[in-house]
A and B are shown apart, each in its own frame.
Chain A
Amino acid sequence: SQTIHQWPATLVQPVGSPLSLECTVEGTSNPNLYWYRQAAGRGLQLLFYSVGIGQISSEVPQNLSASRPQDRQFILSSKKLLLSDSGFYLCAWTANIGNTIYFGEGSWLTVV
């Protein structure tokens, strides 16, 4: 069966520091991968998606970036965090020809 892992689960970072959230999917090949953000009291916002290694599409312009160095690895990064980057970040995947998105457990980021 397929599983998705993301880490760290909780992160407290000062303003201006870098960020790296990692996500891996197991049990499938060539998945589509996604990063969503859920700010406090708000819905889900799609940040990035990827259909293959090195292929990243950005939905929202901001100081975050994403990379896909391996088929089943998706990384969310920032060079300098802002207070507004605080939130709950969710990694997700679909099968290459699948219609259902499955989510990881999420990572809480607090920028102080």
Chain B
Amino acid sequence: AQSVTQPDIHITVSEGASLELRCNYSYGATPYLFWYVQSPGQGLQLLLKYFSGDTLVQGIKGFEAEFKRSQSSFNLRKPSVHWSDAAEYFCAVGSLSSGSARQLTFGSGTQLTVLP
């Protein structure tokens, strides 16, 4: 069974500083990997995804993530954080389950606080 670990429950950075959110996964085959962001009281918005090809993927809002198979990681980065980036971030790995339904296994999330 697949699993996702986000080792940092809470991260605080200053506005304008760089950001890296860690994600490690366990999956037997080539994974589908995702990062979602959730603002308070809102649904989840897709930031970016990796299926195959270039291991550095670009997403919305200036985010990028790098897939490293050797480290089973898919860390999310942003060179300069904005106050509006404060939210909870979820990493997820996708699988093909019975019935052809794609399911995601989510990490427990990382809460990002941005200081002025």
Contact = CB atoms under 8 A, between A and B. Distances in A.
Interface of A: 32, 34, 42-44, 46, 49-51, 55, 57, 90, 92, 94, 96-106, 108
B46 interface: yes
Interface size of B as a range: 20 to 34
22 contacts: A32-B101, A34-B101, A34-B103, A42-B108, A43-B106, A43-B107, A44-B44, A44-B106, A49-B99, A57-B101, A90-B44, A94-B102, A96-B100, A99-B32, A99-B102, A100-B34, A100-B46, A101-B94, A101-B104, A103-B44, A103-B45, A106-B42
Nearest to B99: A51
B51 interface: yes
**Interface of B, helix, strand, loop or mixed by DSSP:** strand
B16 to A, nearest CB: 29
Contacts of B94: 99, 101
B43 A49 contact: no
**Interface of A, helix, strand, loop or mixed by DSSP:** strand
Q: Which of B34, B49, B98, B99 has the most CB of A within 10 A?
A: B99
A32 B100 CA distance: 9
Contacts of A108: 41
A90 B42 CA distance: 9
Given A43-B106, A43-B107, A105-B42, A100 B49 contact: yes
A14 B93 CA distance: 36
Nearest to B106: A44
Nearest to A10: B41
B90 interface: yes
